[in-house]
Structure 1
Amino acid sequence: MIRKPVLILLILLLTGALTLTACGAPKQGIVAGKVNVIVSFYPLYDFTQKIGGDHVNVMNLVPAGVEPHDWSPKSRDMKNLTQADLFVYLGAGFEGWVNDFLGSLKPDAKVKPVETSKGLNLIRAAEEDHEHGHKDDAHEGEWDPHAWLSPVNAQKMALVIKDALVKADPANQADYEKNYAAYAEQLAKLHEEYKQALAPLPKKEIVVSHSAFGYLCKEYGLTQRAIMGLSPDAEPTSKDIQQINAFIKEHGVKYIFFEELVSDKLAKTLAKDAGIETLVLNPLEGLNEDQLKSGEDYVSVMKTNLKYLIKALQ
């Protein structure tokens, strides 16, 4: 039998260990005295944090290092969702579970949904599929949802979040306006950096693992060729692979881009067959624990993406 003081010590040690493992992950749980915001994936977490500052408690539903395309909420998440002040999500068919959740909300529910893709100029999924020569059965939505990868869109999404925070907490409007203005300026600078760095480069074609970069390409005059479709687990056919190899040869592509949250096996195999190399291009669907701990965010990862794009398009 364990004596009481030893038992208390064991409990304290265990809770301490649990606290440590949670470091770097967004706080889970409603916090009194703050605007509680639950977001559906990483970029919205970062935007809300930057604009809300100390007035908000932001919780990211998708754990660090998890790819959000096929993630769905657990019962604890649903409980938190109904108790939050705001639920910030992308829309455009990105979160497959959202419509069911919104449909289940009672008319007098406390939580206010905020759809950040509303008002954006979305690209039709059919355009992407047609462009890449294959139909993407895994992604059944009407739109390509990866809008946040254009800094111009990111700024518009951040504005939607700012307006929602002002509405939820008018007492702190001045802070939200100030934080948004500073962040919007950072995003505008990022857009300028991309424009100036990519415009003069001789190549405009990139090969990526899944077609997440349609908005980035459209913004800066690039063309993406994806191994897989709009969903990162859509399998390519042997015809797709032949077409990608032909595209690589035709455009003198030197790198295939893969992403950190999805297996790089296929990209590496294709690169090896084509005698070229691989590089990371992060679609910012989520950051891993190490990136969060080292203070990476949307802007810093987008700057790293730009560095690798410059390398690939020389």
Structure 2
Amino acid sequence: MNVRRLISTTAVAAATALGLVSLSACSGTSSAGGDKGGGKLDVVASFYPMQYLAEQIGGDHVEVTTLTKPGVEPHDLELKPRQASELRGAGYILYLKGVQPAVDEAIAQSGVEHTVDAATLTTMESHGTEVGHDHGDEGGEHEGGEHGAEGGADPHVWLDPVKYAEVAKGVGDSLAKADPAHAADYRKNTEALVGKLKSLDAKFAAGLKNGTTKTFITTHSAFGYLAERYGLEQHGIAGIDPESEPSPARIKELQSVAKQEKVSTVFFETLASDRTARTLAEDTGLRTDVLDPLEGITDRSKGDDYLSVMESNLAALQKALGAK
């Protein structure tokens, strides 16, 4: 069994229990909107893609805390008692169910009125190690159920600017309900962010339109939505779970794919091991490069926010696919 999946039930239960000791005494905080004293709505986001939405849409009216600190692989997160307490006192919680089991359990028991699961704001799909314009959902029977959203769905919707924009609209609406006094600003900020995401979508569509190949290989099968959106074909070394170990047969299959599809590059990411990607690249004479699933921003990220890292991803894909 994968080590990262061994999330301690005891630890989660303890953290949740400690965080909820005074729930009855503090329940008024949540219903009152989680005002932290400066007139701002206290927002807790589960990990970076949710944090970015909350900050961009909430603007000056929110104070955002993220449960996943920079450099921490989100799927590894185990909550501390202090973090469970932060959840209990929040005025608004934004998360994506299925990415972080420990977070899902604590949120379910937090009692916070304004709790939003981003997976409910767009249409989720199942993906596995292969997905794209020719393969469709071939990989859905493989690793796709390792840690997807409910029902085994692939949770990486934020890597598709169109789906991320759909989520942004839902977040804007829900913030307006949680804090109606600033609803007009939330809607204005949402429109601005959706406009930026539409521009990003146009850049990807134009930038990936022509290339010598449509196929890319990556360690983490996080780019299924992106592949479908722009007519590409993703082949993952591992499945949806970035720490899944590929079988020898899978490695052999990828070597064949690389040769047949004229693949030039094996992609790895910043928050997980690159060992398997580099080994495959060496065995097949391919280059390596970073394709960032944007689960967190660190000093190693090729950009300092969602938009800049996505543009770096576009440049990396263009180079690997021979697109101009």
Question: Which TM-score applies when normalising by structure 2?
Answer: 0.81
The yes-or-no answer on 1:260 pairing with 2:270 is yes
1:134/1:273 Cα in 2 relative to 1: closer, same or farther (>3 Å)? farther
Choose which of 212, 236, 253 in structure 2 pairs with 1:243. 253
Which residue of the partner structure matches residue 36 of structure 1? 42
Shift of 1:100: 2.3
RMSD of Structure 2 on Structure 1 (CA):
2.2
Q: For 2:65, what is the secondary structure of its paired residue?
A: strand
**Runs of 4+ off more than 6 Å:** none
* Contact map agreement 1:255 1:271 (CA 8 A) in 2: yes
Shift of 1:98: 4.0
Number of matched pairs: 280
- Alignment map for 1:1-314 (pairs within 5 Å): 31-32=36-37, 33-91=39-97, 93-105=98-110, 109-125=111-127, 131-132=138-139, 135-136=142-143, 139=146, 141=148, 142-289=152-299, 291=301, 296-314=304-322
Structure 2 CA distance for aligned equivalents of residues 290 and 135 of structure 1: 31
Structure 2 CA distance for aligned equivalents of residues 50 and 98 of structure 1: 22
CA deviation profile, 1:72-94 (whole Å, cap 9, x unmatched): 21111100001000110112x22
Structure 1 CA distance for aligned equivalents of residues 85 and 50 of structure 2: 20
Residue identity matched to 1:115? D
Larger C-alpha radius of gyration, 1 or 2?
1
Question: Which TM-score applies when normalising by structure 1?
Answer: 0.83
Gaps of 5+ in 1: 1-28
* Contact map agreement 2:266 2:288 (CA 8 A) in 1: yes
Q: For 1:167, what is the secondary structure of its paired residue?
A: helix
* Contact map agreement 1:123 1:143 (CA 8 A) in 2: yes
* Contact map agreement 2:144 2:240 (CA 8 A) in 1: no
Structure 2 CA distance for aligned equivalents of residues 265 and 179 of structure 1: 41
Residue identity matched to 1:204? K
CA deviation profile, 1:99-134 (whole Å, cap 9, x unmatched): 4224424xxx34421011214221124685973498
Structure 1 CA distance for aligned equivalents of residues 243 and 143 of structure 2: 10
Structure 2 CA distance for aligned equivalents of residues 143 and 236 of structure 1: 20
Structure 1 CA distance for aligned equivalents of residues 115 and 198 of structure 2: 27
Which residue of the partner structure matches residue 9 of structure 1? none
Q: For 1:228, what is the secondary structure of its paired residue?
A: coil
Structure 2 CA distance for aligned equivalents of residues 121 and 158 of structure 1: 13
Shift of 1:138: 7.6
Residue identity matched to 2:320? A
Structure 2 CA distance for aligned equivalents of residues 176 and 132 of structure 1: 38
Worse overlay, 112-121 or 138-147: 138-147
* Contact map agreement 1:30 1:80 (CA 8 A) in 2: no
Which residue of the partner structure matches residue 25 of structure 1? none
CA deviation profile, 1:254-304 (whole Å, cap 9, x unmatched): 10000000111111111011111101000001111465xx97111111000
Structure 2 CA distance for aligned equivalents of residues 234 and 55 of structure 1: 40
Worse overlay, 193-202 or 133-142: 133-142
